[in-house]
Amino acid sequence: MSVTGLCEHCSAEAADSCTRCGSVVCADHYDEETGLCTDCIREMGGKPHDAEREPDRPDADDTLQF
């Protein structure tokens, strides 16, 4: 959603608001693909496709056997 005001993360000019928490944020703190602010993305463990882009992450596609 397009808004005006100051970013709640850095006080730059805000352009959007997070669809999860409602924070008013600038382009640097907003992900257009998900509609979320960077804090919400971090709280949720990253974007859904992050594991696909980072195959070297230790938890990306581990097969655990016990």
The reply to whether the predicted model has a pTM over 0.85 is: no
Contact (CB, 8 A) for 16 and 36: no
In this predicted model, what pLDDT tens digit does every residue of 51-63 receive, in sequence order?
A: 444 555 555 556 6
Strand 36-37 and strand 30-31: the pairing is antiparallel
- The residues spanned by each domain of the chain are 1-46
- Residue 7 CA from chain centroid, whole number: 15
Q: How many helices (H) and strands (E) does the chain have?
A: 2, 4
pLDDT class for 47, splitting at 50, 70, 90?
Answer: confident
